[in-house]
Structure 1
Amino acid sequence: MPPVASPQGNTAIEGDSNVRYGPALTLLASLFFMWGFITVINNTLLPHLRSVFDLNYTQTTLIESVWFIAYFVASIPSAKLIEKIGYQKSLVIGLLVMAAGALGMMLAASIPSYGVTLAMLFVIASGITLLQVAANPYVAVVGRPETASSRLNLVQAMNSAGTMLAPMFGAYLILGRSKGGTATSDVVLTQAERLADAQSVILPYGLVAVVLIVLAVIIGRFPLPAMGSATQRLAPEERAKLSLWKHRNLVFGIPAIFIYLIAEIGVANLFVNFVSQPEIANLTHEKAGQYLTFLWGGMMVGRFLGSAIMQKVDAGLVLAAFSVGAFVVMLVTVFTTGPAAMWALILVGLFHSIMFPTIFTLGIKGLGPLTEEGSGLLIMAIAGGALVVVQGWLADAYGLQTSFLLTAACELYVLFYALWGSKTSADPA
């Protein structure tokens, strides 16, 4: 069958097998790696900025809230941009926007400025949003529908590889090169030491900017195939006859991603401060940041494992089992101390691993020509990570350890979605 031209100007082969998309999926995996890497740099950046700008937990988590507000603001414009100029050009623009934000972080560090830092993190997150809106549905629809969750979990494992390496990168180049990162948690820095610490951000973000620009050039020159005609937007008169809100799996999937992100981001962003406490592991921020590698490494292992399991077992059942595991280890985190609490918090990464890609693929299941719109709404729901500021407030008001009860509550909604909310009209009740 001859190639079918898509509105984006790419080439798709109608009915093509998953294998033919292998080179494109491999290249897209590098994007998943980079946005995972950059996102998790924040986990070492936040305790660093807390020290540099003398922030409380609410102010610290507000930095991450700004990051995730970008998902809410940029998702719909990203979908419009993709519709207008195509997936490939949009991916290139997303990478260049991220690079511009990384360069801006170098400026923020040289001033230093809390306000400019917030603005540049917003720019980087906006670029990642564009990549997310384009890449996630692409991976989900290019193969057999029944293995969509398995396929997206497999590619998302590269995202986890980026998140696993980022803490080592950040701990060495940011925390390890700063006074605040190598001191104990009760040390008060002088103004001169804070100014010197701010400069440690310049080198790592300069390196990130170079990699992003190189990757943008490679993506721009690669013959990326389109997703095909099955998920293309309908004509306005045809679209008016269909409703996204008749799809229960999407309606409950949007809050599922929103709530899950509160859990994931709360754990990741407060991990260093939690582990550093005397009653938990009594580590410096630098040493605690190195333990983040185990948290994100667990997510990578879980996604490879989940991808394999979902070849044989229903994705909803796998999601339910992982959500129960996450709930249990969060209770251990809250109600124990010492190594038990630390390793329980690390272990939640394994159980969180499959949640985003599995909820995403269950959420767009059966949408057909509404897939692009549904995907945009699901990516917008990543803005739930902005509500990590609520956990910051709980930590200030009731204690950091107690605040993780919010995370445990989030796991229960994921369990509800896995067992009931993810069912489509074609599924048995």
Structure 2
Amino acid sequence: MALAPNSAAPALATEDSASRRSYLFPFILVTCVFFLWGMAHNLDSILIPHLKKACQLNNRQSTLVDTAVFMAYFLMAIPAGVLLKRFGYKNSIIIGLVAFAAGAFLFIPAASALSYGLFLVALFIIGCGLTVLETAANPYAAVLGAPETSTTRLNLAASFNGLAALVAPVVGTKLILSGKEYSAAQLAAMPEATRLAYFTHEAASVKLPYLTLGGILLLVAVLFYFVSLPEIKAEESEPSEGGGFFAVLKHKHLSWAVVAQFFYVGAQVCVTSFFIRMAKQGGGLDELTAGYYLGLYGLLFMAGRFIGTALLKYVPSQRLLSIYAVAAIVLCGVAVLGNGAYVIYALGGLGFFMSIMFPTIFSLGIAGLGSDTKPASSWLVMSIVGGAIMPYVMGTVIDLQGDNTQAGYVVPLACFVVVLLFGMSGYRVRGRLV
């Protein structure tokens, strides 16, 4: 069933149809922000195998790329909520864009120094910027219109995040991956100068894409600064629900959503972080072909977002979430047990069925929270720390299983079971504060 009015976003302080129409351009700008942070996250899927090779890392060490980004979500969620409350949606988005750009520019000295530690610092700063952006942009997209269509609107904006899942792997494969790989024995046989030159050249390939990304982010920040945007607020008459940061967790459906989002994001990052390794090992592809297949995964992810957004007009969001979770569980099983083309099909299918999970969990989690939406948003963003933890768990499983990437896919499978439980019962609005 459709969400009831006022169930997924605060009541809007709108006065007439003209003010409603004024939300269109702000929504377009916010949608651009969804695309940009999608680029950052999906380039990480290229960075992990690339830096693993350039910096000679094992699977666990390579997942520190995810840890750096998503730990920032955990540490910055409360400060991001404070920024949002004090400075509003527009200024918070500008702050997030500038921090994001600063981290992107730091890739240049990191690559020059061939320093994995400095790469991780840069990624942490990017993660801080992304935290502020998501804390502001997700609820802003949800409230830029009628409350009863907030889930559809949030999925539409997130569809352009899905577009980035197509664009980033193609751009990353073209500009970052070289396709040159050497075994440990071949590297050991190289003269030291040749070996160092190879590693330095591999690391340097990240400079152009991240320099370009940083420049675009600054341009978008300038655009936000000079464009007048509505600062949507809850109606003055709307009472607080008891509103402290920890008090909002007494809304049981929000607590459930935080847990579900933790495991969903963990699952998504696991799937994408090890996609190239999985396509090489289980599907028999070379590095460059696997990178382009990651772009195909992104295409299916994007298609899933648009199709899912359309289906939400006819299927209750929690039911569609449950159906997609069941499909993802089955596909993870195929990825673990299959081989060759079946593994590739399973990975692509996961992209399609994961597509609506984040925005749907987010929207169901803030349903009916009124003026508690902002602290609830911080909790849902903070739960993204699952992307820091679960890939490390998966990398550990892979290393313990003798570098068997397929065995590691039991980790996202277990995560999707939690998402299924949320879609079946955890979403229900109950236990509200009085």
With normalisation by structure 2, the TM-score equals 0.90
Long gaps (5+) in structure 1 = 1-10
Alignment match, 1:408: 413
Deviations along 1:245-303, one digit per CA (max 9) or x if unpaired, are 332210100010000011100000000111112xx333222221111111111111111
Aligned residue identity for 2:371: P
Return the match for 1:424 from 405, 409, 429. Answer: 429
How far off is 1:109 after superposition? 0.3
Alignment partners' CA distance in 1, 2:140 and 2:236: 10
Task: Provide the C-alpha distance between the structure 2 equivalents of 1:240 and 1:131, rounded to a whole number of angstroms.
Answer: 22
CA distance in 1, matches of 2:340, 2:307: 29
Partner residue of 1:182? 180
Unaligned runs of 5+ in 2: 1-11, 188-194
Post-superposition CA distance 1:19-75 (Å, at most 9, x none) = 431111111110000000111111111111000111000001122111100000111
Q: Partners in 2 of 1:83 and 1:63 — Cα distance?
A: 30
Residues 14, 187 of structure 1: alpha-carbon distance in 2 compared, 3 angstrom cutoff: farther
Matched, 1:13 2:11: no
Give me the identity figure in percent: 37
CA positional deviation for 1:242: 10
Instruction: Answer with 79-88 or 361-370: which moved more.
Output: 79-88
Deviations 1:350-397 (Å, cap 9, x if unpaired)?
Answer: 000000000000000010111111111001001110011000000111
Matched, 1:229 2:234: yes
Q: Secondary structure at the match of 2:136?
A: helix
Looking at structure 1, the residues matched to 237 and 356 of structure 2 have their Cα atoms a distance apart, in angstroms, of 27
Contact 1:184 1:284 in 2 (8 A): no
Do 2:101 and 2:217's aligned partners in 1 also have CA atoms closer than 8 Å?
Answer: yes
1:59 match:
61
Q: How many residues in Structure 1 have an aligned counterpart in Structure 2?
A: 410
Q: Give the distance between the partners of 1:276 and 1:187, measured in 2 at CA.
A: 20
CA distance in 1, matches of 2:245, 2:120: 42
The question of whether the paired residues in 1 share the 8 Å contact of 2:55 and 2:114 is answered with no
User: Match for 2:376 among 374, 377, 387?
Assistant: 374
Q: 2:145 aligns with which of 116, 136, 143?
A: 143
Q: Cα distance, 1:142 vs. partner?
A: 2.6
Work out the CA distance in 1 between the residues paired with 2:350 and 2:135: 26
1:271 equivalent in alignment to 2:275: yes
Is residue 168–residue 290 contact of structure 1 (8 Å, CA) maintained in 2?
Answer: yes
> What CA distance in whole angstroms lies between the structure 2 residues aligned with 1:113 and 1:341?
34
CA pair 204-239 structure 1, distance change in 2 beyond 3 A: closer
Partners of 2:180 and 2:283 in 1: CA distance: 15
Q: Distance in 1 between matches of 2:31 and 2:416?
A: 27
Task: Indicate which of 210, 222, 226 corresponds to 1:217.
Answer: 222
**SS state at 1:86 partner:** helix
User: Residues 321-340 of structure 1 correspond to what in structure 2 (within 5 A)?
Assistant: 321-340=323-342
Using the alignment, how far apart are the partners of 1:362 and 1:252 within structure 2? 10
- Contact preservation (8 Å) 1:231, 1:370: no
Distance 1:406 1:150, change over 3 A: same
Q: Measured at CA, do residues 117 and 150 of structure 1 come closer, stay the same or move farther in structure 2, by a change above 3 Å?
A: same
CA RMSD of aligned residues (A): 2.3
Aligned 1:154-165 pairs, distance under 5 A = 154-165=156-167
Aligned equivalent of 2:122: 120
Task: Verify: 1:191 aligned to 2:192, yes or no.
Answer: no
In 2, are the aligned partners of 1:46 and 1:269 still within 8 Å (CA)? yes
**CA–CA distance in structure 2, aligned partners of residues 342 and 45 of structure 1:** 20
The counterpart of 1:255, out of the listed 252, 259, 269, is 259
- Scaled by the length of structure 1, the TM-score of the pair is 0.91
